[in-house]
């Protein structure tokens, strides 16, 4: 009764057309609209979105420059985390020595609070 096709009908028609044209239906679904993806020659398309979809099984299939960028980021993060952890541990050790050598109750409280905060930060740093 309605002459206008729904998006879904259009998609199904487009998929059927692509299959007739030699495309292969894949077992993977479009990450955007969840429609079945079609492989045409060496490229994968979502006929519903009318877009080429890039699918990678693992990092090794990613373009070299993306792999490089990912590695750089990962290395940067872990290096920062390690140095933060190192610094905090060093500070805790410094405070521990100070605590050992002081008899001043005020200082003892201050140092204990500082150590407590550092330990909390350390915990947070190791969680992320």
C-beta of 52 vs 59, nearer to Zn ion? 52
Q: Which residues in 76-115 contact Zn ion (CB under 5 A)?
A: none
Interface with Zn ion, residue 49, by CB under 5 A = yes
C-beta of 26 vs 92, nearer to Zn ion? 26
C-beta of 46 vs 115, nearer to Zn ion? 46
The site string for Zn ion over 3-42 (x = CB under 5 A, - otherwise) reads ---------------------------x-xx---------
Q: How far is the CB of 39 from Zn ion (least distance, A)?
A: 14
Q: How far is the CB of 59 from Zn ion (least distance, A)?
A: 23
Residue partners of 44: CB distance under 8 A and separation at least 6? 26, 28, 37, 38, 52, 53, 54, 55
Q: How far is the CB of 122 from Zn ion (least distance, A)?
A: 45
């Amino acid at each position: 009764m309605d002459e206008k096709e729904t998006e879904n009908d259009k998609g199904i028609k487009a998929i059927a057309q692509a299959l007739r044209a030699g495309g292969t239906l894949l077992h993977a679904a479009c990450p955007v609209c969840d429609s079945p993806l079609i492989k045409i020659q060496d490229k994968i398309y979502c006929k519903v979105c009318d877009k080429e979809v890039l699918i990678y099984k693992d990092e090794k299939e990613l373009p070299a420059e993306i792999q490089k960028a990912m590695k750089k980021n990962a290395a940067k993060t872990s290096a920062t985390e390690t140095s933060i952890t190192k610094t905090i541990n060093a500070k805790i050790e410094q405070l521990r020595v100070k605590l050992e050598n002081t008899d001043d109750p005020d200082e003892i409280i201050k140092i204990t609070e500082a150590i407590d905060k550092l330990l909390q930060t350390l915990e947070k740093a190791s969680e992320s």
